Copies of this chain bind each other. A is one copy, B any other.
Amino acid sequence: VVAGPGDDCAVLQPRKGTRLVATTDALVEGVHFDLSVSRAEDAGHKALAANLSDLAAAGARPRWFLCALGVPRVPRSLWPVLLGTARALGSGMARLARAQRIALVGGNVTSASGWSITITALGEARTPLSRRGAKPGDVLVLAGAVGSAALGLRLLRGDPAVRDAGGEAENLATGAARAAIGAQLRPRPLVAAGLAAAPFAAAAIDVSDGLLKDLSHLLRASRCGAEVDCARLLRSPLVRKAEAALARAGKHRYALSLAGGEDYALLFAVGEARLRGLLAALRKTGVAARAIGRCLAGRGVTLRDGKHELPLPERTGWDHLDL
């Protein structure tokens, strides 16, 4: 960083031989976070994590970020409250930034109708991955568990369908429930996994909108179809219990893990010949990963549950505009 915050512009000097990777994502109060149930620190963390997850899927090393903050208009007497919230947002962001060794290089504060955090993250990669590049026959590999973030949101909201999932889920203080809530409030971007996978994978995407939705983005960009064996999905025991309870209530048997969203797992397509290399590289990063299916010629996604075919869920994922 040649020049950072305090000016209108940041000045950056990328290394030679690498490519600069840029992504932008906005979090809006009332849509992506809710300051009545989550702390401002969590919202700051999550805004940055969502962007780092996009860089991770590109196989890029995060380096810098810019943050545009929208602050609600309130009477002057309430400014100290705003300042406290802004500081907390910043400290959540700063802690993750330090852990990932990245620098805030620019920002902007404006008044708005409510809180919003728009982050642009910049990273470097030698061979960036994108959604394009998967071919029929490629194996689909999922790094990280799915369903926990959606379960965490339901637990926070006291959703009765999930409260009935078992004794454990009822008690928010259990380790398993707290892990699900943590996955929702403070997701961990799988940066090291993305870097490790980049030399092996043909295409990649992060699971932010829901596994099926993000898979369909990857397939559309790569012009192929796929089949997925849901029995291979990495799910916590509590997610399994909650999904079983939801299934008894008539929902899809993998409602949370297929369509839940906000897991920030990584989905890769990899040629058969490079599959072992990819799995070994991911194992070294300590992130659980598993082959969950395969790309096929044609269009669309077929679901299986072991040997049985499974219908698609009605709701395939999270669409912020689908309210």
Contact = CB atoms under 8 A, between A and B. Distances in A.
A32 interface: yes
A216 interface: no
A203 to B, nearest CB: 10
Interface string A1-29: 01100111111111010011111111110
B105 A9 contact: no
Contacts of A13: 19-20
B24 A107 contact: yes
> Copies per complex?
2
B111 A25 contact: no
A114 interface: yes
Contacts of A66: 22-24, 120
A171 interface: no
A103 to B, nearest CB: 12
A60 interface: yes
A99 interface: no
B323 A9 contact: no
B14 A14 contact: yes
Interface stretch (A37-45, A67-75, A300-308): A67-75
B19 A128 contact: no
Nearest to A114: B113
Contact of A26 (B32, B57, B108, B221): B108
A112 interface: yes
A171 to B, nearest CB: 33
A107 B71 CA distance: 21
A23 B132 CA distance: 29
Contacts of A11: 19-22, 58, 125, 128, 130
A6 B217 CA distance: 9
Contacts of A16: 16
A109 B321 contact: yes
A67 B26 CA distance: 10
Contacts of A184: none
A155 interface: no
Nearest to A17: B16
B205 A8 contact: yes
Contact of A24 (B55, B58, B106): B106
Given A8-B205, A26-B110, A111-B320, 12 more contacts: A2-B19, A3-B130, A7-B132, A9-B22, A14-B20, A24-B107, A25-B108, A28-B70, A30-B113, A31-B73, A70-B116, A73-B323
Interface of A: 2-3, 6-14, 16, 19-28, 30-32, 54-55, 57-58, 60, 64, 66-68, 70-71, 73, 105-114, 116, 118, 120, 122, 125, 128, 130-132, 205-206, 208, 221, 320-321, 323
27 contacts: A2-B19, A2-B128, A7-B131, A7-B132, A7-B221, A8-B54, A8-B58, A8-B205, A9-B55, A10-B21, A11-B19, A13-B20, A22-B64, A22-B122, A24-B106, A24-B120, A26-B68, A26-B112, A26-B118, A28-B110, A28-B112, A31-B73, A71-B321, A110-B320, A112-B114, A112-B116, A113-B113
